[in-house]
C-alpha cells in the first residue's frame, strides 16, 4: 500500500471501518466510541445473512493484528502483518477457515475463494485510506 504502516494499521484494524471496505460485510455491532484493543469483541452481519462473532486475538501496534471469528460450526482466523517500506507498507494477510460436522464443506469452499476476496478488499481499503488522508 502507498501508505505508512501506521495509517494502514489504524484504518484496517478498526471494525467500525469494515463495512466501507469489506465486500461481504453489511454492518458491524461494536460501540461507536470503542477503540481497537486486544480482546475486543464484536459481531457482524454479512451479505449472505451470516452473523459471526469476532474477537481480536493479537495486536502489536503497526505490526500485527489478528482476529478469530465463529459462527455455528465454522471458525475463521485472519492475521494481518504490516511491514514498513520506503514507498508505504506491505500488508500480508494470512487466514484459515475450518468447519465441523455439516459446516465442514461450506468452510472449505469459502476458504478457497477467501484469498482473492481479501486481496480485492485490501485494494479497496487502500483507496479509502488514500481518500481519508488526502482530505
Q: Quick check: 123 and 93 in contact, CB under 8 A? A: no
Average pLDDT over residues 3-25: 97
Categorize the per-residue pLDDT at 133 as very low, low, confident or very high, splitting at 50, 70 and 90: confident
Q: Nine-digit cell at 32?
A: 461507536
What's the CA angle centered on 98, arms 14 and 42, to 5 degrees?
Answer: 25
Q: Quick check: 2 and 126 in contact, CB under 8 A? A: yes
Q: What values do phi and psi take at 26, rounded to 5?
A: -95, -40
pLDDT, position 135: 65
Q: Nine-digit cell at 76?
A: 475463521
Per-residue model confidence as pLDDT tens digits over 60-108: 999 999 999 999 999 999 999 999 999 999 999 999 999 999 989 888 8
Question: Between 1.10.1760.20, 3.40.50.720, 1.25.40.10, 3.30.530.20, what CATH number should domain 5-134 receive?
Answer: 3.30.530.20
pTM assigned to the model: 0.92
Each domain of the chain, given as residue ranges in start order, spans: 5-134
pLDDT, position 46: 94
pLDDT, position 106: 84
- HSE value, Cβ hemisphere, 13 Å, CA-based, for 101: 4
Per-residue model confidence as pLDDT tens digits over 19-70: 999 999 999 999 989 999 999 999 999 999 999 999 999 999 999 999 999 9
Amino acid at each position: 500500500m502507498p501508505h505508512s504502516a501506521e495509517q494502514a494499521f489504524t484504518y484496517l484494524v478498526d471494525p467500525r471501518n469494515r463495512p466501507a471496505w469489506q465486500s461481504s460485510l453489511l454492518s458491524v455491532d461494536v460501540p461507536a466510541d470503542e477503540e481497537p484493543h486486544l480482546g475486543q469483541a464484536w459481531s457482524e452481519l454479512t451479505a449472505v445473512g451470516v452473523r459471526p462473532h469476532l474477537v481480536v486475538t493479537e495486536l502489536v501496534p503497526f505490526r500485527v493484528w489478528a482476529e478469530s471469528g465463529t459462527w455455528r460450526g465454522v471458525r475463521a482466523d485472519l492475521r494481518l502483518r504490516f511491514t514498513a517500506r520506503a514507498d508505504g507498507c506491505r500488508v500480508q494477510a494470512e487466514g484459515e477457515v475450518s468447519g465441523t460436522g455439516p459446516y465442514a464443506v461450506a468452510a472449505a469452499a469459502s476458504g478457497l475463494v477467501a484469498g482473492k476476496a481479501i486481496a480485492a478488499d485490501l485494494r479497496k481499503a487502500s483507496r479509502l485510506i488514500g481518500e481519508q488522508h488526502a482530505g
